[in-house]
Structure 1
């Protein structure tokens, strides 16, 4: 059985990779048919606190959950097959293949329940590098320069416990506040207004 955390990660990835769903456009019946007998047939009166569900309802709920798990499992397989997601250390990384500046990248990732890709060890760095190599372009990472020039930190203000700087980097001396990943997996400090591949983590 999928854990609730993994369920939400996969759902976030799906919304990120298939923006039609997030923008309210019809996406076809790829997920909702399993609820067809519960919603829109005049029998659904909504949830009421303290409501006692009869055994047939609970049985139907279990069936719905099993069907959702099956669909999510298939969706995860398709995303892996199409090389749209990678995984490392319990995190799922995904790209929609689009480019944006740093602030837009953070916004796009947050909109779908994720955050900008932030490698905290070599395995996670490699998971992000997979997309960078595949697209043959650079990607922003979830870290910025602190108030001290050439000293970088995670976006939550904590110190970097893992780094993979390119030779002689960082070199911006306070003028390049963001971090990008090169196609060899090493990092470079860069101005935040350049367009780079969007890679999110969930």
Structure 2
């Protein structure tokens, strides 16, 4: 299996490293980091997180996910941390990240078993809003993970600018709920 398995805005470092780095909305190129397996951005609380999960799980050497950089407008960092802390709720047929502040925090494009495996096997390290390369590099260098079991063969469906529309009903409900909360 060729790794990484799904395209995105990232660079591959040393595939034998136990660390994956998500720089959220910050430009990973300007940080000049090293000693990671994969490093890239994540802007969205749904498809972006799913791509991170797929690429992290498909390399059995990765056991740490370092989440750093400026938060995205979609709260991808907060949503990743909420996922690690609270998991997902399958209420209503969709897998929603419990405690996410994002408008569309649904992880329905990958198998539920992948989410469960990610939660069990990957240590998520919170450095959201940290952009100091020295601090981030120190965190990368301090990760020493054990190789996980065999990497699952995962794939991700094609995502385009219209993919979010399947969540249009949920988006409207979430936005209206937030408006009502703000009026109280």
What is the TM-score with the length of structure 1 in the denominator? 0.29
What is the TM-score with the length of structure 2 in the denominator? 0.31
Decide which structure has the larger Cα Rg and report it.
Answer: 1
Higher strand share: 1
